[in-house]
Every structure is written in structure tokens, then in C-alpha cells.
Structure 1
Amino acid sequence: MKQRRMKYKWNTWLSLLALTLMSSCQQNSGDRKDTIVAGREPVFQNFEYVGNDKIYAEQPLPDGHFYNPILQGCYPDPSITRKGDDYYLVVSSFVMFPGVPIFHSKDLVNWKQIGHVLDRESQLKVETAGISAGIYAPDIMYNPHNDTFYMITTQIASGIGNMVVKTKDPLQGNWSDPIKLNFGGIDPALFFDDDGKAYVIHNDAPDEGKALYEGHRVIKVWEYDVENDQVIAGTDKIIVDGGVDIAQKPIWIEAPHIYKRHNKYYLMCAEGGTGGNHSEVIFVSDSPHGPYKPATTNPILSQRHLDKSRPNPVEWAGHADLVETPDGEWYGVFLAVRPNEKNRVNTGRETFILPVDWSGEWPVFEGGMEPLKPSIQMPQGAENKMNTDDFFPNGNFTFIDKFEGKGLDDRWIALRGPREKFVQESKDGLVIKPFDVNIKVQQPISTLFYRQQHATFSAFVDMHYKPETEGDLAGLACVQSEAFNYVFGITKSGEDYSIVLERTEKGESSIVAQAKLAELGKISLKVEAQGDDYQFAYALDSGNFENLGGIVSGDILSTDVAGGFTGAMIGLYATSANDIHIN
């Protein structure tokens, strides 16, 4: 054991020494000449993700339009708020670390990620949670009465439950540590009335013994003490029981929001569950406490009733939030999915936006009950800059990260723990320190993830690596969860080095293909997909790519196959607890 530790330290020293000796010449992605000595800690360079969906190639943007969804990939459960002409949007992050991505826009078209709300271990305690636990349905709300922004959410881990954090300025971050809230259920949201009074609404179970059917839920309201950041005991009241019409046994009334307009209180909720029956419904009352009357026009947003064979379908639309512009116009953000040709959902639940017509009594998502289109018209005065500068891209785009020590892009995330605990940045590459756990466990893993954002994509990276033992492995991983994933990496068996592709389904793993490697140094790894068809390939020392395993199914990377709430992710993976045994 002592000898192994000495070898490990020696290889670590060699890797770090090699980083300082690398050429500083300017070269193209994928073509940089290297002097890195491959060691037990992999060094990654020249990551490139290219999205090439047919729908964007065949339907270029008309003048004055922008693409929908605005956030492609696993960015679900959006919530939006506004202060002046600044819009802020947050989404669910589950056990991703840092948690709750936050975006900023001046015009609802061009969005910049300004960081994460939960970026410290004191805020996010998800170390042993399954991938679809953690942070659910964050709600962001600006309170003009104390000039403070709130993010309220449910943390399904570590006994925290419902919680709220605060900041004066989301652009600066510095969100507070969580304040635990004294109520159950999920999907809390805040509402600040004109008189300064505050309320919390949320999904909950019916009172004990009153559940009538599976999926029967209620919406509750509490008065909220802004001074002490806590619900006021004894003020809770059920304001919706079951949904729009309990005689129809509606399921999973959730994600509530209250809006005040013309001295009326409008309660908007998701109904039907995040899946094929998802929808958005609305109610009205003269008081925050109810009683609430459902609209006769419900649902106001859904795709569930449409022909499933329609071209380029968007499904599962719901879980919405509304915002009013300074000019009195209304928009709604919501989640939906874009299934591939086999009706699989590998990109997960994404964030869409639509204009909302509220000229009548009820808000109407414009086109929200019709087949959703790939682009919509921009608000007046907006200019589409989504694929320029540091605006968040959409449509077909390329993301390149050469890992030159300039700081990690906010799109890179870890699972269950900080990236900084296993990543070392340099101007010459990204070193990943392997943890003694592998990708199949519910613990922090030494893997840096980028979300899959297209049905048709390729992802490429250069890696310098030389495993020392059979427990060492590094490479790429395509992950839907700890129980559903592909691992494509380099490991050792006896004195031989091998590249292996492993498929894990329902926690059961099998080797798809493997090949011995005569020598190790620089290796290029690539995964590409066309809908459900995935391929993995490798190239030694900038040579030609060789496929490993042929075409494999992306079924296990689909949300509706693997279950849960996340989308597929591409990981730069390293472990010293490899359990793939080479034949």
C-alpha cells in the first residue's frame, strides 16, 4: 500500500510538471501539439460540442424571430421575475453542483448565465442523493417592498425540505445560506401583495385519510412573515383540492404561482404530472386565501391533445410562470420536451417561452394549445444576439472549451459536490483527480458534465492518460443516472491497456466492446448521436478515428426509459474504483 501511494505521488508530480512544460503555441482545437507525460490523473484538452438538429437546418430563423426553446437541454421547471428592465430566470438542478442555474436578460430573447444560486456546500447538501433528488422547482421572486430577491425551493436531501435564500442583487450573487421553512409538500412559491403582505403557496398531500385516488394532491396557502422569513403557524389553508375538477380525478396539481391583476388574484398551476398529460391551468379569487374558481377555458397551455404523429412534436408542456414587461405585455416560461424519432427524451425537459395574451379575463398562451413551432416573434425592440458574445446559445451551435485555465464555464457541472474538489485548471489542460468511487454510486463523483442539448450532436475531447492499476479508468461517460449510462474509457488489465465501452441499464452493467491499445499517450475520444443511434470512437496521437461497439441505442439515456427528471449529460470521467473487468 505504501509503495502504491509513492507511485501515485510520483505520477501526480510528473503530470503537474508536464503541464508547466507544454508549448504555448496558438493552434486549432484538436490539433494542439503536446508534451504532456500521460499519468494516472487524466489531462483533458480541446472539448468541442457540436449540435446539428435537422429542424434548425431546415427551418432557419425568419426575420424578427428567435428559437424556442430558449434553454436547450436539461433546464426544467423555469421560474421568472423582473425588477425594472432586468429579468431573472432559474431552473431545477436536482443533485447538480453548483445548483439552480440563474440567467439574466434585458429583453426576454438574449440570456446570459450569471452563475448559480446555490454555489456553496453550506447551501446544497446532496452528497448521497439519487440524481433526481436534490433541488426541485425553484421559484424566484422580487419583493419591491424591501428590494430583495428570494429563491424558494424544495431540497429533497439531508432533511432540509422547503427552504428560501435571499440576495439584494442577483448579478452579484452572494445568496444567503438556506432558511428552513416549517411546512411539508413541494414546489413552494412566494407572492408579495401590494400592501406588503406575503404568502407562500405549495403542493401538498390531502389531509390525512382524505386522499381519494393515486396522484390526488392539493394546493395550500400560508401567510409569510417577511421579518422572520417563516410561515405563520396556523394560517395554512387548502385552496385547490385535486385540481380543476376533482370529479375527473386530476393528478399532480403542483407548481403554483399567484399573480394580482385588476384587484383579482390569479392562481396558475401545473396539472397532469410531468409527462404526456402535462398542462397548465388557472383559477381566480377575490382574496389570496380563496375561494378560487377555475377558468372555463382550462387548460391554458398543453400539447397532450395533439396528433402524436405530427412533425417535430413538442410534448409535456406545462409548469409555467408569468412575467409582465415594463410596457404591460405578458410572457410565460414553461417546460416541454422534444422527443426524437423513437419518441425518446434524451435532451430532457427544456425551457420554452411564449407571449401571453391577457386582454380578456384569463391569460392565454399564444399558440400554447397548438403545435409549438421552433421559433417565435421577438418582442418589439429586441435584437437576436443569442449566438454571439457570452449570450446563451440556441438553435444549432458549437461550444468549444480548450481548458486554458481561464475558469470553468458555468455550463460545466458536477454531481453531489463541488467541481473544485477534483478539478485542477491550467492554461494547458484540465486535470481531473480521480475519486475512489465510480459513476454508479450515489456519492460525489470525479466527473465534469455538459448537458446534451441536441438530438443530433457530437462531442470530442483530447485526453492524456495512463492508468496504473485495474482500478483506474478515465474517458467519456454519457449519463442519464447512476443506474443508466454508458462509460467509454481507458483502463488496465494485467500489463495491457484497453479501451472499453460499457452499458449500464437498471444498475446492471455489460461490456459492449473492448480493444487493446499498444501504447498510451494522447488519445482523442468522441461520441456522436443521430437521434437514438449513438456511436463511440477513439483516435491515437491525432490519427484516424476507430469506432468501438458499432451503433448502440440511446434508449437508456432517455428520461422516460430511465425514469426521474433529468436529461442526458456528457461527462469527462475519472475514477480509481473502476469495476469494469476486461476479458
Structure 2
Amino acid sequence: MTPRATTYRNPVLDADWSDPDVVRVGDDFYLTASSFGRAPGLPLLHSRDLVSWRLIGHALDRLVPEEAFAVPRHDCGVWAPSIRHHDGLFWIFWGDPDHGIYQANALDIRGPWSSPHLVKAGKGLIDPCPLWDEDTGEAYLVHAWAKSRSGIKNRLTGHRMSPDGAELLDEGHVLVEGDRIPGWFTIEGPKVYRHDGWFWIFAPAGGVESGWQGVFRSRSFLGPYEHRVVLEQGDTPVNGPHQGGWVRTASGEDWFLHFQQRGAYGRVVHLQPVRWDDTGWPVIGASGTPVRVHTTPDLPAQPPSAPATDDLFPGGRFGLQWQWTANPQPGWAVSHTRDGLRLTCVRSPDVRDLRLLPHLLTQRLPLSCRTVDVDLQLDATTPGSRAGLAVLGDAYTWIGLERGADGSTHLVHRFAEPATGQERDATHPRPAPSASARLRIEVTAGARCRLYADTGDGFRPSGQVFAATPWRWVGALLCLFAGAPPGRRSAGTALFRHFRVSD
């Protein structure tokens, strides 16, 4: 039996699991998070102790509308989902700021999940959360607004919803008007609950980097709602403790999972204790400020675990941690029975700007200092074909192999700055006669990345240190890719082996 740890340390998820929400079903806890424009979307994580989590699948195989996500839309797509369990089904509701509010459901958390259903069409409808009132049988939905699409912000709107989650039954009512609360701005990310005779809405405000977590309560769904700040940075280093979900264990302990914005690392996830004061309001963390170290939840001990990062690509398959930068097409990854990931050098006019390519495989950049290694064999002989390992964001850098016009292969290291459409060499290309290389990225504090390569004579550093950058809402990504210039014939493939992330 695993000894029960006496304390845990935040963050409990040390990578970009943005806008987390959580639900308990029996002795199991399930978490989902924003996946934006990557596919598959809506990651599903499982835990039994709220501290150790494993990635067990995704609820969304392909982004919808499919044609809108045939190309990368890094900051669009799936925003701030809510996960619930009701009437024997798992439910996830999410907002797409350009299309509306969707939901999907499943009997089993591992699926199959229903096709996405558009509950309400419209621009700027984000952060939806459903509530089924077990006492009355009524169903409700609360959502926020994206000003960039709707011209509205700092407002929470509530609807009556059909019990089957298929449609909203009214035009909506303003439940919280943030402009009427002195000092409050950018109220978003609502999570709605029924507890102790009250309707509760947990919602952050003040912006992701410097805001706070608020709570609203009312005896009636339609309000009026009173409010309190229940979690803020105070004198801790946890900036803008923001948006998350409340969950109660089977023994009656209350916990809150929320994110913290960490620049290029994205939004890492913290676990906070919750108690209720004499007036019935929740108090989160240490009297309203985040804890860094705390006594573990009173739950059965579990072996330490974390979402997978390493991948040996057994049988030519890649693990759940990988996502494409758009809806995938057949043939991007070539099926085979050996170990190793074989990617097609997909032909594209945008081959020299990775930010525009849909056929990139990505995973989250880890918060702690790590070393990333992968072996690469460039089998494609088409001039201009290339493959490599990248750190991808608003700016990016990559190191890998490229086939020259004369058929020779070179080790190349390139980068691109924000708002530029063309990469530049970070160092002079050098011969790679075997068309193979071991590639490495050392990630140190501040997401500073030093790139290395070994073409047979040991690892050698390449170019200058690169400071990883996020997208607007998404942290930087580790990336494997293969590509080639436009043409009609197949350009060939590249083989990746032994992807490892080590301390």
C-alpha cells in the first residue's frame, strides 16, 4: 500500500492546463481544460487524490465547424469548458467565441462522446456552465462574454435550459453586471452550483495575470446576487489566482482547483483548501490567499503520477499528450509496426513559417527546468524537405534536418520573431551526412531554451539562447514536424524516436 503523503506542493499540474474544471463521481475526480485550436480537444484527466493526475483521453476528436479548423487558429476554438455528471451521463459544455456554446456527453468518461451539439449560436458567448437543480428538476446555464466578438464584457448571463441540455429556453437574464460593482472588471469564467439553499456562482475578475477569484450568491437563480472576493494574491508569488472549479470529496472536504498565468508556460493548476465561515461564505486557501504547500486531501493514498510527456511511439503510434495544430488529415502520420513516429513531409507553401502549418504535433511546455531529447532520421530525399524539434509560440525556434538541392542533408537551426512571416538562420547550416541527428532542447528558468544537436560527434550547442513566448491565451508548445515545399509528388517521410523529457 502506498504511504499517504502528508503535504502537497502547488502547482499540482505544472503545465498549461488552462481554465480547469473538475467533477467528482464516486471516488474518482475528473478534470477538463481549454484546448483552444488543437485537436483532439477537451483533455480528460483523472485522479483519486486531487494531487496526482493522469491524462486518460479527449472528449473532442475534431474541432467544429470542421472547415473553420482546417488551418491553425491557435487562440480560438475550445474556451473554458465545464464538466458535470448528471442523470448517469458526463457532460461538457464549452464556448467557441466565434460560433457559440456547444455540449457533448458520454456514459463513460473514456467515451464514446456524442458529436458536439450547438446549444446556442452566436459570437462572444464564452465560459458556459450548466446546473441541474436536483430539488426542482429545473436546468440552467450561465455564461460570460468576449468583448472582442460581442462588444460585451464584465457581465454574466443566465438562461433556463431544457433538462436534456439541448437548448436554452429564454433569451437570457443579466445575473451579474460587473460595471455596477466598484473596482470590478473582466468578470468571466463562471461556475454555477446549488449549495445550502443558495445559488452560487464562482467567477474570477480583474484579468488573468493580476485578478482575483470572486463568489456570488442568491436565493433565486435570477438574483439579486451578493458578492465577495474569496481568493487573491496578497503577499504570495501566485499572481492572479484565477478561474477554476469547486469540488467536495466523499468525506465532505472542499477543494478548489484554479489556474495561475505563468507566461510562456501557460496556465498552471493549483489546488486550494476551502472552508466555510460563520456567515456561510467560502474561504479559499489560507484565509483568502493561495497556499504553496498544504496538508493533502483526506483521500486514499495514490502513487505519484503526472500527465505523460515521454513517448517511445510504440508500434508507430503517438500518445495522448500530443495534439495537432488543426484538424488532422489522413496520411500526416504513417502507420507502421516498428517503434518510432513516421511523419509525412507534408507539402505546403507555408513550409517556412511553422505557425501557419496544421500538421504539427505538439505537447505542453513543462514549467520546471527540463531537457527534451528526440532522435530524427530524415528519409525524404525531396529538395527542401525538412523535419525537426521546435518550441512554438508567437515566436518560435527549431532545430532539425533539411535536404538540399543536391540531395545532401544539413543540420539547420532557425527561428522566427513575432509578426514576421519568414524564418531566419540562428546558425550556419552544417553537414549531416547520415541524414540523422539527436536533437535536444534544454529549458531553464524563464522558459529560456538552449538548442543542441548530435550528428555523430556528440551534442554541441547551437545558436543563441531563445526565450520562449506564449500565444495570446496559449502557452508555448513543444513540437515535432515534417514538411516540404509545394509539389505534386509525395516528398517522403521523417522518423522520430525516443522522445524524452527529463529533469
TM value normalised by structure 1: 0.75
Give 1:46-85 correspondences, 5 Å limit: 63-85=5-27
Distance 1:422 1:205 in 2: 34
2:175 to 213, 221, 239: 239
Distance 1:439 1:355 in 2: 48
Distance 2:145 2:126 in 1: 6
- The Cα offsets for residues 392-419 of structure 1, whole Å up to 9 and x where unpaired, read as 37xxxxx532222174221122111238
Distance 1:354 1:327 in 2: 17
Q: Which amino acid aligns with 2:91?
A: Y
Percent same amino acid at aligned positions?
24
Post-superposition offset of 1:182: 2.2
Q: Hey, what does 1:33 align to over in structure 2? A: none
Q: Hey, what does 1:548 align to over in structure 2? A: 462
CA contact (8 A) 2:142 2:156 kept: yes
Post-superposition offset of 1:575: 0.7
CA contact (8 A) 2:42 2:60 kept: yes
* 2:76 is the alignment partner of 1:136: no
Q: Hey, what does 1:16 align to over in structure 2? A: none
CA contact (8 A) 1:127 1:443 kept: no
- The 1:440/1:131 distance shift into structure 2, 3 A limit, reads farther
Give 1:418-567 correspondences, 5 Å limit: 418=328, 421-425=331-335, 426-437=337-348, 438=351, 440=353, 445-481=358-394, 484-495=395-406, 496-508=408-420, 509-517=423-431, 519-532=433-446, 533-541=448-456, 543-549=457-463, 551-554=464-467, 557-559=468-470, 563-567=471-475
Distance 1:161 1:94 in 2: 14
Distance 1:518 1:132 in 2: 36
- The Cα offsets for residues 361-383 of structure 1, whole Å up to 9 and x where unpaired, read as 1111122743641x432112432
Distance 2:20 2:352 in 1: 28
CA contact (8 A) 2:316 2:342 kept: no
Tell me, what secondary structure is at the counterpart of 2:241? strand
- The 1:148/1:301 distance shift into structure 2, 3 A limit, reads same
- The 1:80/1:110 distance shift into structure 2, 3 A limit, reads same
Tell me, what secondary structure is at the counterpart of 2:300? coil
Q: Hey, what does 1:10 align to over in structure 2? A: none
Tell me, what secondary structure is at the counterpart of 2:321? coil
Post-superposition offset of 1:445: 2.7
Q: Hey, what does 2:69 align to over in structure 1? A: 126
Q: Hey, what does 2:203 align to over in structure 1? A: 269
- The 1:284/1:334 distance shift into structure 2, 3 A limit, reads same
- The 1:81/1:346 distance shift into structure 2, 3 A limit, reads same
- Determine which structure has more spread, i.e. the larger CA radius of gyration: 1
Tell me, what secondary structure is at the counterpart of 1:405? helix
- The Cα offsets for residues 311-330 of structure 1, whole Å up to 9 and x where unpaired, read as xx332311121011122211
Give 1:295-444 correspondences, 5 Å limit: 295=228, 298=229, 300-303=230-233, 305-306=234-235, 313-338=237-262, 345-360=263-278, 361-367=280-286, 369-370=288-289, 372-373=291-292, 375-387=293-305, 392=307, 399-405=309-315, 407-418=317-328, 421-425=331-335, 426-437=337-348, 438=351, 440=353
Tell me, what secondary structure is at the counterpart of 1:506? coil
Tell me, what secondary structure is at the counterpart of 1:535? strand
Distance 1:148 1:165 in 2: 10
Distance 1:247 1:286 in 2: 23
Q: Hey, what does 2:497 align to over in structure 1? A: none
Post-superposition offset of 1:89: 0.8
Distance 2:346 2:240 in 1: 37
Distance 2:62 2:347 in 1: 23
Distance 2:30 2:368 in 1: 28
Q: Which amino acid aligns with 1:137?
A: A
TM value normalised by structure 2: 0.86
Distance 1:442 1:558 in 2: 13
CA contact (8 A) 1:346 1:455 kept: no
Q: Hey, what does 2:45 align to over in structure 1? A: 103
* 2:215 is the alignment partner of 1:282: yes
* 2:72 is the alignment partner of 1:161: no
CA contact (8 A) 1:416 1:443 kept: no
CA contact (8 A) 2:193 2:200 kept: yes
- The 1:423/1:205 distance shift into structure 2, 3 A limit, reads closer
Name whichever of 174-183 and 75-84 sits farther off: 174-183
Name whichever of 105-114 and 314-323 sits farther off: 105-114
CA contact (8 A) 2:29 2:48 kept: yes
Structure 1 unaligned residues grouped into runs of 5+: 1-60, 308-312, 339-344, 394-398, 579-583
Give the length in aligned residue pairs.
471
Post-superposition offset of 1:500: 1.8
- The Cα offsets for residues 231-290 of structure 1, whole Å up to 9 and x where unpaired, read as 0134x10011126x5333x22111111222221111111101222x22110111011111
- The 1:164/1:272 distance shift into structure 2, 3 A limit, reads same
CA contact (8 A) 2:71 2:358 kept: no
Give 1:166-245 correspondences, 5 Å limit: 166-171=105-110, 173-182=111-120, 184=122, 185-194=125-134, 195-204=136-145, 216-227=153-164, 229-234=166-171, 236-242=172-178
- The 1:441/1:452 distance shift into structure 2, 3 A limit, reads closer
CA contact (8 A) 2:316 2:339 kept: no
- The Cα offsets for residues 86-113 of structure 1, whole Å up to 9 and x where unpaired, read as 2211000011110010112223233222
Tell me, what secondary structure is at the counterpart of 1:346? helix
Q: Which amino acid aligns with 1:239?
A: L
Post-superposition offset of 1:292: 0.5
Distance 1:154 1:421 in 2: 30
Name whichever of 175-184 and 283-292 sits farther off: 175-184
Distance 1:176 1:400 in 2: 30
Q: Hey, what does 1:30 align to over in structure 2? A: none
Q: Which amino acid aligns with 2:370?
A: F
RMSD: 2.7
Q: Which amino acid aligns with 1:238?
A: V
Q: Which amino acid aligns with 2:174?
A: I
Q: Which amino acid aligns with 1:240?
A: V
Distance 2:333 2:54 in 1: 24
Q: Hey, what does 1:252 align to over in structure 2? A: 186
